[in-house]
Structure 1
Amino acid sequence: MRGRDPEWHTVTRLLKAARTGEGGTLLIEGGPGTGKSLLLAEAAARASEEGFLPISGGAERLGEFVPLAPLFMALDEPPVREFLDDEAPGDWRDPRLHLLERLRTRLEKSASTRPVLVCLDDLQWAGHDTLAALRTLHWELAHTPVVWLLARRTGFSETPGPHPAGTPDDDARRLFDVLERDGATRAALGPLDEEAVAALASDLLGAAPDPDVLAFAASAGGNPHLLTELLTGLREEGAVEVAGGRARLLSDHPPERVHAVARAMLDGLGRETRLLVEAAAVLGHTFSAEDAAELAGTDAATLLPAFEEALDAGILTAAGDELEFRHELVWRAVAAGLPAPVRNALRHQAGRILLDRGGPAVWAAGDGRGEDVVAGAMVVLAMTRWESGRLAEGLRLAREAVRRAGDGPVSVRRTHPRLALAAMLADARRPDEARALIEEAGREVEALGQAAWAAGPAASLARVELVAGRLDEAAAQARAALDLADGLGTRLFGPLAESVLAAVALRRGDVSGACRHVEASREPPGAGTVTPAWCSIVAAQAVEARDGPAEAVKLVTHVYSGPREARRVLAGEPDAASWLVRRALAAGDRAAAEAVVAASETLAARNPGFTASRAAALHARGLLDDDAEALRAACEEGGDPWARASAAEDLGVVLADRDDRPGAVRGLERALDRYEEAGAVRDAARVRRTLREMGVRHRHWATADRPVSGWGSLTGTECAVALLVTEGWTNRQVADQMFISVHTVAFHLRQIFRKLGVGSRVELTRLALEEGHTLER
C-alpha cells in the first residue's frame, strides 16, 4: 500500500474499534487505477487474519436485474426467491422490504459472534435500491461491530467530495454525502507522490531506480495501476538492467502491458469518442479542442458529448485553455497504437492545420507537399508545447523533428529543427548540447544556401553563450549575426541578436546601450522574425535601469495577467520569476507576486527533470516568503552562473534582515564572486554597495601595468564613469547606475580629467568621439 498510509491507518483504526464492539465506515473515492480495489482487498485480508468475517462484493457495470443483488452476492446468498409468487410471504407488500430484512438479520447474527468487515466496490454502478438499502443498514447496524468499506469510482470531470445533484453518479455520491454527515470517514485517493513512486519502483524492480527510471515512471502521473503495469512490463521485457543495487533504463518505449491498459481504456469509450481520442493523440500530449475538432472534420460543439465522455473516463483533462491526456504514458501508447499509415496520414493533416493556424512562419518553409509539412508542423508543435510549459514534450517533439530531418530531402532539412531544439536547450540551461546542435545547423544552413537563415546559427549561439555566462562570446556572436543579416538584407534573427546584446550591455552597466538594442529589437507585428518571449523581460529590465520600475512594469503587464502567459515567458527565461516577484512586491502587489510564484512552481512540478525551472521556483518562493532555505537551495541548483549569483545576493539580504550578519556577508560575498566571474559588472557594483552599507569594503579594481595618461591609463571603474558621462549622464545618474556615491563619482571624474588632460565634460565627450571610445567599444 505504497503512498496510502493515511487510508490504511483509518482501516486499522476501524478494525481495532470493531474488536471492542464499535462499528465504523470508510468511504473511498478515486479514479480508475488509483488503488481502491487493492485497498479493499488488503483490508479484507487483514480482517480475516484478525478473526473478522470478511464480506466482499461489488456492483456490475451492466446494472442490476434484481434489487440489492450486490449485497446478497457479497453474502453468497441468492436473493431471487422473494420475487417468486409461490414463495413470497403474504405479509410483505414489497419484496424489497423482505430482502432488506434478510440482509439486516444475516449481518446482525454474524456480528453477534465476531466482528464483520463489509467491502463493497464500484458503487457508482449500483442501483438506487442497493444504495438505499446501504443507507438503512448503516443506520440500523450502527451499534454493532460492523465495519463498512465502500468504494466508488469518481468521474474525472468531477472532484471527490460533496457535490450538488445533476452530475453523473448522483445516487452514489449522495449516499456518500449522507454517510459522511453521519460520521463516516471519507478518503479521496489521488496520485502517488514522488517518494511513493520511488518506493514502488524499488519494490517492483528489486533495486533502487536510477533518475532515468524515475523520469519514465513520472509519465504514469502517479497512477498506481498504470505505474505497476509500466514497471512490471519493463522488467518482463528486459527494458531495465539491475546491477550494483541500481535499476537502469535501457528503453523508454512503453511496454505491452501499458499498451493493453490503453486499449482497455479506449474499448470502454463510445465509437465517436474513441476516434476523437486517437486523432487527438497525433496533435500531442496537449492540444486545443479546436484543432482536434478540425482534425476530426467537424466543430467543437458537435464533439462536446465525446469530449465530456473522454474527460469523465479520465483519459483527457482540462489544462487551462487546452485539453491534455491525463497521463503522458497513455498518450504515448495511444499514439503508438495507431497503424503507421493512419498515423502518418493524420500527421500530414495535423501539419497542415497547425501551419494554417499561424504557426511561426519561419518554420513553414517547406514546399507543402509531404514530409516537410510534418517536420515543420512538429517544430511548431514542439515550440507551442514548450511555451505552454510542457518542456519534456517540447524537447521530445523537437528531437523527433531533428531525427526526421536527418539526411532527408532538402525540403525537410529546410525546416531547421536543430535551431529550434538548440533554443529550447538554451532555455533549459543545457549549453553543451545546444552548441553541438548549432554547429551542425551552421553546416546545414551553409550547404543549403538559405540566405534568410544565414544569421540563425550565430544568433542562436549568442543566446547559448549568454546563459552560460560568457558575455564576450555572446556579444561577438550576436554582432556576427547582425553583420550577416545586414549584409544579406534579412532581419529574421535580428531581434534575437539585439536582445542578447541588450542583456550583455545591461550586465556590464551600459544602460544606454542596452536600451538602444532593445529599440533595435522591436519589429512590427507580422514581420516574420524570431522574437522569443524572454526578450520582453530583457526589454523591461533595461527600461527599469533607465526609467525606473514603474515604466518597466508597463512592459510586462501581460506576464502578470494570467498563468498561461507567465508560463510562456518562464519557459524561456525561468530566472525571470525572481525579478517579476521582486517588482510586484516593490509595488505592493503581493497577489501578482504570488501568481508568478505559482506559475513558476507549476512549471517546475510539471517538469521534474529540468533543474533550472526548479531552482527558479525555489528562488521566487524564497523571495516571496523570505525563506532562507529555499534561497540557499536556489544558490546551489541555479541553472546558470548569473542565476546562482542572484539567489546568493537575495539570500544575503534576507539574512541581513534577520540580523545574521556573518551569514549575510557570506551570501553577499559569494554573490559578488559569481557576478564578477560572469562579467556582470553592474550587479557586482550593487552588491559592493550593500556590503559597504554593512561596513564591509572590497577593492574592485585589478592591479595592472598601465600608462600614466591616455585612455589606457583609466581603471575599469574610471572608464565606465567616463563613458556614462559622455552619454550626458549627471553625477547623480552615474552614481545610481554604478551603485556608488555622488562623491565617489566626482572623485573618479577628477582622476579621469587629470589622466586624459581635459578640463570639462564637453572636452571629455569630444575626445571620446575623436578616438572612437563608446559604451560599446
Structure 2
Amino acid sequence: MTTITPDGRAAAYPLRGRDEETGLIDQELREVAGGTARMVLVEADAGMGKSAFARRIRERAQAAGFAAGASAAAENDRDTPLATLGPALRSATPTALLTVDDLTALLPLVEQPLWFVEQLASLIRRHVPDQPLLMSLDDFHWADPLTVFALRILPARLADLPLLWVLSARPGAGGPAEAVGAAADARLPVRRMRLGPLDDDAVLAIARDRRGGRTDGTTAARMSEARGVPFLAVHLAEGLLPGGAEASRPGGLPPGLIEGVHRRMAPASARGRSLMHVGAVLGTSFTLTDAARVLDIPVTGLGSPLDEAVSTGLLIDDGDQLRFTHDLIRRAVYERLTPSIRRDMHRTAADHLLRGAGGAVRAAPHVLAAAGPGDTHAVRILRDAAFALLDTMAVTSATIIRQAYDLAGDDAALRTAVGRDVLEIMLRARKRAEAETFADALLKDTEDPGTAAEVRLLLAPELWGAGRLEALRRLARDEPGATPRLRRRLAAYRFLTGQDQPPDGDDPVARAVVAVAEAERAERSGAYARALAGYTRALHLGEEHGREPGSLPPGVLRLRSLSLRAVLGEGQEVLTGLTSGPDGALPADSWSAARHALVRAQIQFRAGLLEDAGASAVRCLALAEELDDQVVTPQARQVLAALAALRGDAARAREHIDALPEGRSRTAAAALLADTLDLPGAPAGLLRAATQAAAPWRDELLVRAACSAHRAGDVPSVREAAERLEELLRLNPGAPGLEGAAALAHGLLTGDLGRARRVLAGARRPLLGALADEEWARTALPTARDEAVGALRQALSVYTGAQALQPAARVRGALASAGVRRAGRGQGRTRPVSGWDALTPAERKVAWLVAQGHTNRATARELFVSPSTVATHLRSVFAKLGVDSRVRLTRLVLALPGAAPQGGGSP
C-alpha cells in the first residue's frame, strides 16, 4: 500500500491483510516457474486495494526470478488500440516484449485484429526472456477493445510458455476480465480471486503504519468506520476523512470523502482549486495544456496553482501528465461541483478538444456529459467520432454511435439517419445479434420506405452468409415507396430465397444476388462448373459496389468458389493459393479465417491429407470460437467425425456427431460412420445423405455407397450410385476426381475396374485410388492372385500412410483371407507414446525444420499451415521427446541418425 506525501512522492507502506491471497499467488508463481502457463483474475470494488495488490504480485514475481511487464488501463484507453496491453509489453523487464519498430509493423493490421494478434504472438515469442514471465494489467475494466480481443486469444497461443497473466478489475457482469477468463478457461488454469474487506487487525495495522505505531481505543473506534475498506482506512488514518463518516456501499463513493477532499483543497488559491476541478472533469489523468485551454489562461499562469494542487496530496505531476492519486479522489472532486458547472466545463473541454489532435474522438466523452436529448450538434460530433474510430476501434465506434442515436430525441429524420449509421457500424463491428435486434426496432420506428429498404438490405447479406434463409425470407419483403434500385435488390433477395422471379434492370448489386441464387441452384443440382461461374460473376459485379446496401460478402463468395474449384480438380492449386495471405496460410481478411480453415480441411480430406485436414478442422473450430462465427462449426465437426471414423475411433466420431445439430452435416457424418462400421443399411444411408450433401461430399458419399453396396451384394444400390455419379460427371465434364469416382462405381457393375484405376492414378485422390485398387483386387484374387495381392499391398500402404486405420484393417482382412500373413503390420503398428518414433509425419517435419533454425512462421510457410498449427505440433514434439526448449530439440534431432526427412534437408 502506498500513500502520497505532500511533495508528490509515493511513500511505501506494507500491504496489510492480504496474506492468504498472497499465499495463493505464490502458489501460482511456483506452478508457472515449473513451466505451466496460468491466469489470475483479481476482482475488487473501488477502494479495496486492487492496485496495491497488483504491485505486491509484481514484487513477489520479481523476487522469484520472473521477468515482468505491467500497466494500468485508464478511462480514455478505450479509444486507442492496444493502449492497455502495449505499455506492459514495452515496459517489460529485463527485456521489452514489444519494441517501437514492432509496434510500427503491427499498426497496418489493426483493421484485421486476428492477424494483429497472430503477429503479436510471434513478436512476443521472439523477445521472450529465458525465465518465467509475469504480465500484469490493472484496472482492466477500462481496457481498450483491441486489448480485450487480444487477451481472449493470446493466452491460448502462448500456453506453452511459463507465463502468468494477472488481470485486476472492478466487478461487472460480462466485463472485459470475465470475457478474457472465459476464453482462457479451456486452455490453461484460471484462478479467480475476490478481494474482500480487511479484518480489524489489518485496519489497525494501517493506522499504526501511518501514525508511527501509536494507536489507542479512540483510534480503534474511529478506524472501525472504514468497515474493512483499505482506501477508507488509509484516509481515516491520514485525516482526509472526518470522524463519524459512514462507510460506503461496495463500489459507491464513500460518504464523507467529498467533504474531506474539499477541506484538503481549501487552503489552495481559487486558481489552484479550479485546476483540480478542471482536472476532475478531464479525467483521472490529464495534461496541463488541456487544463489551461479549458480555463482560458496561458500554461505559464498555472505554475503556482499546480504547486498548490500537488501539495494537497490529491494530485501527482509525473512530468508528462497530471493524475489524481486515486479515481475515488477524482470522483470526490467532481461530485463537489454543481451540475451546471460540470456541464459547462464539459462543453468547454469538448470545444477545446475538437480543435486539437483527436478532434471528435477525444471530445466525445465530454459531449456526452454535456448534451441532452435533441442536441443535434452533439449528435453530429458523436457521429464524426464513431466513423473516425470505425476502422481501428469498431467496438468503441458502435458504442458511440448508439449513444448518438439515443441523443437524437424526437427528431424523426435525425433518428432515421443515425439509426442507419448504427446498423452499418454494428455490422462492421461484428455485433450481429445486436444489429438484428436494432434493425427490428428501427423498422418498427421508421415510416420512410427508402430507409426501411436500406435497413433490410444492410442486414440481408449477413443473414445469407449465416445460412439463415428463413429469417432472410421474412426480411426481404418489398417496400413499395422505395426507389426502383432498392426494390430490385430486395426482389433479388426474394429470388435468392425461392420466393419471386429475378428482377429486371442492370443494377449490379441485384445482378450479383441473382447470380448467386442461380449458382446455389446449380450447386444443389450438382452442376458445380455452372455454380462456379455464377459465384465468379457475382464476385466481379461486387468489386465496384462492395459497400452498397445489399452487397454480398466477397469473402464468402470467394471461399465457395475455391471449394468448387477443388471439387472440379484444382485441389492442389487451391491449397497453394490459400497460402497467399499474410503469414503464409492466412487469408487477407481475418474475419473469414474460420471459413478459410474449413475449406482447407475439406480440400485436404479429399486429397487424402488426413492429418492436415484434422489440424485445419480443429483450427477452424478454435477460430470460430474466437471470431464468434459458428456457421462453419457443423461442417468442421463433419470433417472430424469422418476422420475419426476412418481411423477406427467410433467413440470420437460419435462425440462429434452428437455435437452436430440436425441437418445435412449430421446426416452425412452419421452415414460415413455407419459405412466404416459396416453396419446393415449403410449403403442406403449414404445414398440418402448424398441427396442433400454439399459439393465437397456428394461424390465421396456416392462412391462409398457403391463400394459398400458391392461388398454387401446390393446391386441396385451400386447401380443407383453409379447413375448419380455419371450424372455428376455429365454436369461437370473433365473433372478428374468425379471421372474417377464414376468410373469406379461403373466398374463395380461391369467387373472392369481398369479404367477407374488409370483415371484415379492422376486424379490426386489417393484414398479413392486405394479404394479402386482394393475393389479391383477383391475381384481379381481368384484369377490373378499375385497382381491382386500387390494391389492390396499398395492400397494398404496408402491407407496406413494416411492413418486411415479402419480401411487399412479391412485390407489386412482381405490379405489374410488370401493367405497373406502379417501383411503390412510394420506400417500399421501402434505408435509409441514417446521418443522419435512417437512423432507423427507432420511433427517430424516440424521438428526437423525447427532444428534447422526455422522460426514458427518460416516453418508454417514451408509446410503450408498456420503458425498456430506449427506451435501445436511443437508442443507435442517437446512432450514426446522430453525436451523443454528449441535448443535442446535441435541438439537431439541433429544427433539422431535418419531424422532428416527423405529427400534432403527440407521436407
TM-score (norm 2): 0.40
TM-score (norm 1): 0.45
